[in-house]
Amino acid sequence: MYLKNILFLVLITTGISGAYAQQQKVRKHYYIEVTDSSFVTSMPEKGATFKAYFKNDSLYKVETWFGFNFGDVSRVYFYWDDSITLVNETQKLYNANAEPKINPDSIKASYTGRYIFQHDELTGISQKGNYSISDTPQSKEETQGALLMLAYKYKAIAYEARKHKKNRIKIKQQE
C-alpha cells in the first residue's frame, strides 16, 4: 500500500510539472509587414500590402493584396514545414475611382480560387466565378508554375525581413 501511494505521488508530480513546463513555453507568434514595393515588379495604382506570419520562427502564412483601378486581388499562401500547401485567391471587380468612394469590403468576390499543393505539385483546384485579370495562367501547369514561383519568392522576402527583429510585430494570443 505504501509503495502504491509513493508511485501515485510520483506520477502526479510528474504530470503537474509537465503541465507547468508546457505553460511556461512561450510561443513566438508574430508577423512582419513589407511596406515598400520590393515584393512587386510594379506597384499597382491603388497600392499593395504584404504580411508574413510566423510561429516559433517558422513561416506559416503570407497575405498579399493588390489594389487596381478596376478592383483588387488578394492571395493567402499557407506553408507547412517551409513548403507551400494551399493558396486562396479572391478577386473583386469595382471602380476604385468612383465617387463617393466604394467600400471594398461590401463588394462580393467575382472570383475565388483554392489551390492545394503536395510536395510542390498542384493536386487540387477549386474555382468559382470568372477571372478578372488578363495575365492569369490558363493551364494547370501554368497555374502551378506561377503560384510556386510567387510562394517561394514571398517566403524568401518574409525570411529576409524577419532577420531584423524591429520588423516583428507580436500577435497577442487569445486566452
Contact 82, 59 (CB under 8 A): yes
Secondary structure string (H, E, C) spanning 27-96: CCEEEEEECCCCCCCCCCCCEEEEEEEEECCEEEEEEEEEEECCEEEEEEEEEECCEEEEEEEEEEECCC
Q: Tens digits of per-residue pLDDT, 122-150?
A: 999 998 988 766 556 678 899 999 999 99
Low-confidence ranges of the chain (pLDDT < 50): 10, 17, 19-24, 175
Task: Kindly report whether the global pTM for this prediction surpasses the value 0.85.
Answer: no
List the end-to-end C-alpha distance of the chain, in Å, as a whole number: 41
pLDDT at 130: 81
pLDDT at 1: 57
Distance (Å) of CA 85 to CA 18, 31, 117, 143: 33, 19, 5, 14
pLDDT at 13: 52
pLDDT at 96: 86
pLDDT at 33: 94
